[in-house]
Amino acid sequence: MSFQLNQIPLFDCLKNSQSILLAGAGGGFDIFAGIPLYLNLVQQGKKVILGNFSFTWLDRTSSEKVFPYCYKIRNGDSDLSGRNYFPERYLKLWLGQKGYDTTIYGFNRIGVQPLKDAYNYLIEQHDIDTVILVDGGTDSLMFGDEEGLGTPQEDSCSMAAVYQSEAASKYLLSIGFGVDHFHGVSHFRFLENVAAIAKDGGYLGLFQVTKEMEEGRMYQEAVSYANQKMKGMESIVSNSIISALEGEYGNHHKIRRTKGSQLWINPLMTIYWCFELDKVVEKVKYYEYIKDSNTIAELNVSLVAYRQNLLKIKKNKQIPI
């Protein structure tokens, strides 16, 4: 595979993709991190279905269960649990207000095997040729032997499930460089791992969203809309990225949830880092431990078992600049 300087490698790879499933890898608001990409792909004339590994209690919503652990999100759906935690619903409503009749699915917080089955169901139902996972943050690029892994359970579950799925093409995108410092991730280790994937030919470069782009402006609007609907449960990651998009820097707090913590809002947060998913998963050292899990609890136990058997852990390091 080769590219030219005036090409964005990811979009060159997607040139022949016709039906794409774009999914949030790590739960919660990760699907919001895919909004700029979704808007651009639709503008290109591609069919794009959205999905999200969900923190919503989907079985306590009015959404339609279409397959085990997989729910179709509709405009009139409501959260029956009283939590008012339903970012997928608010994304559906916001996109509808903007004239997009978007198909959105939510996946229960389950293990690799049932999640793989749910992905394969959507791949078959919608004739999907490409799956793109989006991670709001950088912990999806931790291989497992680093001191700080962030919150890898959901990311690794999605990655392992899609890796085993029947999709012809599979990609992983990460946006939010610096935000996972909040979760103990070393960005020295992130860059080290990007280099390792690049050495194996799995790194597809990067591209950036700015506030002057239509996709950037609409991303701001979508996050603002969700903030209004989910006061007190706003996304730390999404609001950090939007703060960077708006030109803020350093220990800037857009929402009350982060008050009292130390943030590093920075211009690199609005960059998408792009990878071939298979090349990333092949670097995840605990993949064999989690690949057959049926519940997130099983996955957690397996990850702990892997960590307990580690003879050497890569200590967190600061970027030497």
Domain CATH code at residue 214? 3.40.50
Would residue 26 count as lying in a domain? yes
Would residue 248 count as lying in a domain? no
Would residue 118 count as lying in a domain? yes
Would residue 8 count as lying in a domain? no
d(CA 208, CA 92): 24
d(CA 286, CA 88): 30
Are the C-beta atoms of residues 163 and 277 closer than 8 Å to each other?
Answer: yes
d(CA 318, CA 123): 41
Rg (CA), the chain: 18
Would residue 50 count as lying in a domain? yes
Backbone angles phi, psi at 50, to 5 degrees: -105, 145
What is the pLDDT at residue 124?
98
What is the pLDDT at residue 84?
86
What is the pLDDT at residue 170?
98
Q: Which two three-digit tokens encode residue 72?
A: 């179709």
Residue 121 burial (10 A CB sphere; 0-12, 13-18, 19+): middle
Would residue 105 count as lying in a domain? yes
What is the pLDDT at residue 280?
98
Would residue 1 count as lying in a domain? no
What is the pLDDT at residue 297?
97
Residue 96's Cβ-side half-sphere holds a number of Cα atoms within 13 Å equal to 12
- Domain containing residue 117: 17-232+270-308
What is the pLDDT at residue 181?
82
- Domains identified in the chain, total number: 1
Residues (pLDDT < 70) of the chain are none
Would residue 28 count as lying in a domain? yes
